[in-house]
Structure 1
Amino acid sequence: MNVDEELEDLQERIEDEIPGGIAISDVEYEGPELVIYTSDPKKFADDGDLVRDLARKLRKRITVRPDPGVLTDPEPAKDEIDGIVPDDAGITDYDFKPDVGEVVIKAEKPGLVIGKHGSTLREITKATGWTPDVVRTPPIESSTVDNIRRYLTQESDERKEFLRQTGRRIHREETSDDEWVRVTTLGCGREVGRAAFLLSTPETRILIDCGDKPGTDETPYLQAPEANPLQSIDAVVLTHAHLDHSALVPLLYKYGYDGPIYTTPPTRDLMSLLTVDYLDVAAKQGRTPPYDSEMVREAIKHTITLDYGEVTDIAPDIKLTFHNAGHILGSAVVHFHIGDGLYNVGFSGDIHYDETRLFNGAVNDFPRLETLFLESTYGGRNDQAPSQEEAEEKLIKLIRKTHDDGGKVLIPAFAVGRSQEMMIVLEEAMRKGRIPEMPVYLDGMIWEATAIHTAHPEYLNDDLRDRIFHEDENPFLADCFQQVDEGTEQRQEIRDGEPAIILATNGMMAGGPVMEHLEMLAPDPENSLAFVGYQAEGTTGARIESGRDEVRVPSSDGRSETVKIKMNVYSVDGFSGHGDRDELISFVDEMNPRPEKIFTVHGDEGKTKALASALYQNFNMRTISPMNLETHRFI
């Protein structure tokens, strides 16, 4: 049965299941969803269980959309909604999307817009015809999130056609009777960075991640025969937004890929932020970026977002599920269910198994999992991190000492993840009097990344989610935080000013505003440099951490200058978004079920081998530390 015949059959089955009098004008696949178009959206809304029952019987993700002709005009629709929703909900904005019949309602208290068991949502649809999508008004507005929403609205016609084509490709008839599963490591084999894997079956090819390698120009092996032609790849699945996993995703569209990217909503937003900055940093350093901003927009237009726990068809023979990875906002452990119970493969991305100040710990409970690709950043024999309490105490002591000496503390930090954790730690330390009150300057994309965190509170741990929506308790709005937005002039004022703390990107000192602060502050022995995250081999951060007393930094004219390091240098372990060796072993030990095979990846060669050896010895399972370009067949 081809797709058109299948859709005709589905429409007949739907019409048999729904109450009489509800007209179905069309049924179409759009991405992984089955979309039902109707001229009677109000009647659909009368029965709150109707769509849920259809989805269960048809085993499809179903969305109901009204025909455009039955929608109330936006202005009268606003009045209707205002009359239905309690004033206490605090509606702050509406965004009407006629192409899909949705109205995005931004509110301070979204629960009051939703109502008990969605009752208020159904009232809105019955009154206006529009399908409401409720989002919380974030305490910090994000220009990235707003720009993405506007862009997707502008591109709605093209996006709808893309989703239609994707849906038909997902639900196409299988053409092969063969059964096999294999994975090719295209990057991050015995190295940190340029994460990329190709999952292949006789029917489907899926690319998992496509990142850069910090401190180098090395890219994943996209030229390998297994990855070509790029146009034949069915989907890209992105575990999280850090550049060593996402930087080169837009490059795929430059070379002909035109398919979907599956990821979580926060990862889509953060990928946009980080890849645009990636291009900006390259230009400032006099390097030719591998793609332009138009390719970033193409990537955003082709992104399909999924929440944790949603089981979704992404190919005729593959179902995808994201689970919390505990690493950064929206990071995911990726689970693939292949065939009709044939095989299950997981990719950890980067994980943190213990709960942090930002996130719940990584999920390791799956219905089935035969093979796992596991990150090994801290998989070495001596990679035991101190507790969070010990790490915070060390940081607080060095800040107090530097403050008493009249100096400044420079903390290189990734804009996403570590910066927000540092903000929470520093705000609490000042509030409780553990360090003196002083300015904390946020340089780079840190403030915008923080805004994106507040736009997706459901991805934070319970305590932080509650705090950020109480203005008096929101740690990100503390008076000590000051955004740096005037470039060199303001950085010079900070250098010449009173003791302060500076959080600046890039976390590995491979570029970004931290380099200008380093140039200004490094010659003064009263100042301190505190590393709170992993420093990959080949980066400026790694060279300083290893004891170099002078490094080359880029100058404003595109050349480089030598800077002598006379400031104090500290490494404060325990803040990394990666689990240490004990966490990685516990992640496997407590898995249910435990996989038959584990591939240790995304770690320096010695660490991947050491972790593979430990897992083999502890659990008597097959472990492999693959090299780049190795292909392994599982069935």
Structure 2
Amino acid sequence: MSTVENQLEELQSTIESEVPNDITITEVRYEGPELVIYTRDPKRFASDGDLVRQLASQLRKRITVRPDPTALSSPDDAEAEVTEVIPDEAGVTDLDFHIDTGEVVIEAQKPGMVIGRHGTTLREITQETGWTPEVVRTPPIESSTVKNVRNFLKQERNERRDILERIGRQIHREEMSDDQWVRITTLGCCREVGRAAFILSTPETRVLIDCGDKPGSEDEVPYLQVPEALGSGPSSLDAVILTHAHLDHSALVPLLFKYGYDGPIYTTEPSRDLMGLLTLDYLDVAAKEGRAPPYESEMVREAIKHTIPLEYGDVTDIAPDIKLTLHNAGHILGSAVAHFHIGDGLYNVAFSGDIHYDDTRLFNGAVNDFPRVETLVLESTYGGRDDYQTDQKDSERKLKHVLKNTLERDGKVVIPAFAVGRSQEIMLVLEEAMRKGELPEVPVHLDGMIWEATAIHTTYPEYLRDDLRERIFHDDSNPFLADQFNHIDGGEEERQEVADSGPCIILSTSGMMEGGPIMSWLEHVGSEEDSTLMFVGYQAEGTLGSRIQNGRREIPIGGRNGRGSSLTLNMDVKTVDGFSGHADRQGLENFVQTMNPRPEKVLCVHGDERSTQDLSSALYHDFNMRTFAPKNLETFRFL
């Protein structure tokens, strides 16, 4: 009998000794990081609200209780009982019963009313029916991405269960090594922005954190083939952690499955959905530009199937010697700071991913409160000594000033924006300004993936700022449903109509002008002297957006890297700082300064050479800590 089988037998014996005698435990199994308890008496479990909590505390496991299939009422009977328990105001839109696991997935407009205070309604559902409820939100704005992901996971439910069981056994395997050390190897995004990828390794475990592309480059990818990464085989990786879904962190995650990786991806639920959206678009853009895509769309589905979503603050076993906790990073929807607790108090490492330390209109600021962190891997995008962004209110004033001047001369404002994060931030500013009469009410056209990304934001309001979350809960005050927002879904015909019409605002992808519909808008509007091209987000070195910011006005159109025709840009070009999803130099320093206790070491990454070295030097001098500005392919050993 294997070590894991022995563990499960011992756990079942312990559970049976702790639960009341009239509760029968039929099976205990690992599914991913969770311990799943099957019982013929789910109603008895539900009647004692503290029982599961006490077991989880005693066993130090995340526990899910499911009914043994023999204990279930029929779905038809259960549907009537579930409907009776849930208040009508919850707005239930779908019930989906899964006999193999005894779960009923309840989709509702107001999930909080299905859950009830401290989970009372959920327990009542189980008490009445025996079924285990799982609650998801009905998107206020219909999202094809969310719908497709949910349908796909439903179709793959049996295979996914097998995957989770295999992963669970791998997580809870017996430790084989007596050595104690921790290493970090840099595979990308050191002294550069993009292709984020790191290996965190111990004698027992190897974890990949992020796997992105490099904006403006077709061939610079993370160093995945080195021995520390996939060079010794994809099976040597225990887990992949995705801090957030921007392509410079997520684009090549599906590539891992092409190479043969078959393990878990840990990220938040919105990051999972956004990864699907952005990577599929990444393949589509490559095909349109005549480039060979690095992987097929099937690999995106594999990545989604292998994703284990985590909520902020959940402490989760991901290997025999590593616990992972994700915390809000304040950068984009679902973005996370990844905190690793290694061994039994041996060492703690945090990877910031991309962070925004202060609150924004969309998100609360990044969390930096951890029990312990010995080493921090910190982004440095705006880490240069002069990288101070303007105050948010000043930025919004400047934005509105540029908009007003352009609209008053009957021009159009074209804003290249990332579909995820900056677009929604700008939408909130525009909605409020027009509602208050600070800007004329003109159409705001959303092109590319912006509308779909906005729909995903409204699906997960619990990841947004408190006040915004409350507004989204009420359709009549949901700012993203304002009348002026128009989703461009008619392609070139509709773009031409907009170009031939009056003053308007256009938000379009891609944010760094590396392909996408923004190039079409340059063709339609670029020659108009009364119009304005306005940058509100970071433009990485080498991208077309960066070249335009630096004065270039001859723009290649219809081909990549100058192939094809060109046009002369006559539009006014403006840059409004302060809307970046990244902390500026002061925000990065504040993030480190207010950590308690502060880390002993900081690796400054994800910035150009000047930014990483400036930030590294400043943290060393200001806080007397060991700091580094590593190059790619360096390995740091701790302990």
The TM-score with structure 1 as length reference comes to 0.98
* Structure 2 residue identity aligned to 1:185: T
Matched, 1:290 2:278: no
Matched, 1:410 2:411: no
Separation (CA, whole Å) in 2 of partners of 1:514 and 1:550: 16
CA shift, 1:584, in A, is 0.3
Residue 110 of structure 2 contacts residue 473 of structure 2 at CA under 8 Å; is this kept in 1?
no
Matched, 1:531 2:535: yes
Matched with 1:224 is: 226
Gaps of 5+ in 2: none
Separation (CA, whole Å) in 1 of partners of 2:298 and 2:410: 46
Separation (CA, whole Å) in 1 of partners of 2:563 and 2:613: 39
CA shift, 1:559, in A, is 5.2
Q: 1:109-146 CA distances to partner (integer Å, 9 max, x unpaired)? A: 33332233322212211222211122333311212111
State the secondary structure of the residue aligned to 2:20.
Answer: coil
Matched with 1:619 is: 623
CA shift, 1:98, in A, is 2.6
Separation (CA, whole Å) in 1 of partners of 2:112 and 2:301: 32
Matched with 1:161 is: 162
Residue 208 of structure 1 contacts residue 238 of structure 1 at CA under 8 Å; is this kept in 2?
yes
Separation (CA, whole Å) in 1 of partners of 2:243 and 2:580: 17
Separation (CA, whole Å) in 2 of partners of 1:110 and 1:571: 41
Separation (CA, whole Å) in 2 of partners of 1:548 and 1:112: 55
Quick one: which of 442, 447, 451 aligns to 1:443? 447
Separation (CA, whole Å) in 1 of partners of 2:104 and 2:416: 41
For 1:574-593, list aligned pairs within 5 A. 574-593=578-597
Quick one: which of 546, 549, 552 aligns to 1:545? 549
Residue 45 of structure 1 contacts residue 125 of structure 1 at CA under 8 Å; is this kept in 2?
yes
Quick one: which of 510, 525, 529 aligns to 1:521? 525
* Structure 2 residue identity aligned to 1:170: I
CA shift, 1:95, in A, is 2.1
Matched, 1:503 2:507: yes
Q: 1:271-307 CA distances to partner (integer Å, 9 max, x unpaired)? A: 0110011111111111111001100000000000100
Separation (CA, whole Å) in 1 of partners of 2:556 and 2:177: 56
Matched with 1:392 is: 396
Matched with 2:72 is: 71
* Structure 1 residue identity aligned to 2:204: E
Matched with 1:18 is: 19
Separation (CA, whole Å) in 1 of partners of 2:101 and 2:551: 58
Matched, 1:125 2:126: yes
Matched, 1:6 2:3: no
CA shift, 1:564, in A, is 1.0
Separation (CA, whole Å) in 1 of partners of 2:504 and 2:420: 21
CA shift, 1:153, in A, is 1.2
Separation (CA, whole Å) in 2 of partners of 1:330 and 1:565: 36
Residue 348 of structure 1 contacts residue 374 of structure 1 at CA under 8 Å; is this kept in 2?
yes
Separation (CA, whole Å) in 2 of partners of 1:194 and 1:276: 18
State the secondary structure of the residue aligned to 1:472.
Answer: helix
RMSD: 1.2
Indicate the larger mover: 199-208 or 73-82.
Answer: 73-82
Separation (CA, whole Å) in 2 of partners of 1:607 and 1:454: 35
Matched with 2:315 is: 311
CA shift, 1:72, in A, is 2.3
* Structure 1 residue identity aligned to 2:383: G
CA shift, 1:334, in A, is 0.5
State the secondary structure of the residue aligned to 2:369.
Answer: coil
Matched, 1:261 2:262: no
Q: Size of the alignment, in residue pairs?
A: 634
* Structure 1 residue identity aligned to 2:306: H
State the secondary structure of the residue aligned to 2:632.
Answer: coil
Specify whether residues 129 and 559 from structure 1 end up closer, same or farther in structure 2 by C-alpha distance, changes over 3 A only: farther
* Structure 2 residue identity aligned to 1:207: L
* Structure 2 residue identity aligned to 1:15: E
CA shift, 1:86, in A, is 2.1
Residue 424 of structure 2 contacts residue 454 of structure 2 at CA under 8 Å; is this kept in 1?
yes
* Structure 2 residue identity aligned to 1:196: A
For 1:341-420, list aligned pairs within 5 A. 341-420=345-424
Matched with 2:635 is: 631
For 1:553-572, list aligned pairs within 5 A. 553-555=557-559, 560-572=564-576
CA shift, 1:566, in A, is 0.9
* Structure 1 residue identity aligned to 2:401: K
Separation (CA, whole Å) in 1 of partners of 2:278 and 2:438: 33
Gaps of 5+ in 1: none
Separation (CA, whole Å) in 1 of partners of 2:18 and 2:463: 36
Matched, 1:197 2:198: yes
Q: 1:293-348 CA distances to partner (integer Å, 9 max, x unpaired)? A: 10000000000010000001000000000000000000000000001111001100
Quick one: which of 485, 488, 493 aligns to 2:489? 485
Residue 97 of structure 1 contacts residue 153 of structure 1 at CA under 8 Å; is this kept in 2?
no
CA shift, 1:99, in A, is 3.0
Residue 330 of structure 2 contacts residue 357 of structure 2 at CA under 8 Å; is this kept in 1?
yes
Matched with 1:45 is: 46
Identity of aligned residues (%): 69
CA shift, 1:561, in A, is 2.1
Residue 412 of structure 1 contacts residue 530 of structure 1 at CA under 8 Å; is this kept in 2?
yes
Matched, 1:476 2:480: yes
Quick one: which of 332, 336, 340 aligns to 1:328? 332
CA shift, 1:465, in A, is 0.2
CA shift, 1:226, in A, is 1.0
Matched, 1:429 2:433: yes
State the secondary structure of the residue aligned to 2:475.
Answer: coil
State the secondary structure of the residue aligned to 1:223.
Answer: coil
Separation (CA, whole Å) in 1 of partners of 2:586 and 2:182: 31
Indicate the larger mover: 118-127 or 367-376.
Answer: 118-127
For 1:231-242, list aligned pairs within 5 A. 231-242=235-246
State the secondary structure of the residue aligned to 2:476.
Answer: coil
CA shift, 1:555, in A, is 4.9
Indicate the larger mover: 203-212 or 505-514.
Answer: 505-514
Separation (CA, whole Å) in 1 of partners of 2:113 and 2:217: 50
Residue 413 of structure 1 contacts residue 508 of structure 1 at CA under 8 Å; is this kept in 2?
yes
Q: 1:446-501 CA distances to partner (integer Å, 9 max, x unpaired)? A: 11111111111110010100111122211100000000011111111111111100
Indicate the larger mover: 357-366 or 131-140.
Answer: 131-140
Quick one: which of 456, 460, 482 aligns to 1:456? 460
* Structure 1 residue identity aligned to 2:519: M
Residue 354 of structure 2 contacts residue 582 of structure 2 at CA under 8 Å; is this kept in 1?
yes
* Structure 2 residue identity aligned to 1:348: S
For 1:107-118, list aligned pairs within 5 A. 107-118=108-119
CA shift, 1:230, in A, is 1.8
Ranges of 4+ aligned residues in structure 1 off by more than 6 Å:
none
State the secondary structure of the residue aligned to 2:477.
Answer: coil
Residue 531 of structure 1 contacts residue 570 of structure 1 at CA under 8 Å; is this kept in 2?
yes
Residue 533 of structure 2 contacts residue 571 of structure 2 at CA under 8 Å; is this kept in 1?
yes
* Structure 1 residue identity aligned to 2:211: C
Indicate the larger mover: 284-293 or 36-45.
Answer: 36-45
Separation (CA, whole Å) in 2 of partners of 1:111 and 1:538: 46
Residue 472 of structure 2 contacts residue 478 of structure 2 at CA under 8 Å; is this kept in 1?
yes
CA shift, 1:407, in A, is 1.1
State the secondary structure of the residue aligned to 2:207.
Answer: strand
Separation (CA, whole Å) in 2 of partners of 1:483 and 1:623: 46
State the secondary structure of the residue aligned to 1:88.
Answer: helix
Residue 99 of structure 1 contacts residue 156 of structure 1 at CA under 8 Å; is this kept in 2?
no
Separation (CA, whole Å) in 1 of partners of 2:386 and 2:120: 55
State the secondary structure of the residue aligned to 2:12.
Answer: helix
Specify whether residues 545 and 99 from structure 1 end up closer, same or farther in structure 2 by C-alpha distance, changes over 3 A only: farther
Q: 1:570-610 CA distances to partner (integer Å, 9 max, x unpaired)? A: 01000000000000001001111100000000001110000
Matched with 1:177 is: 178
Separation (CA, whole Å) in 2 of partners of 1:15 and 1:470: 46
Matched with 1:140 is: 141
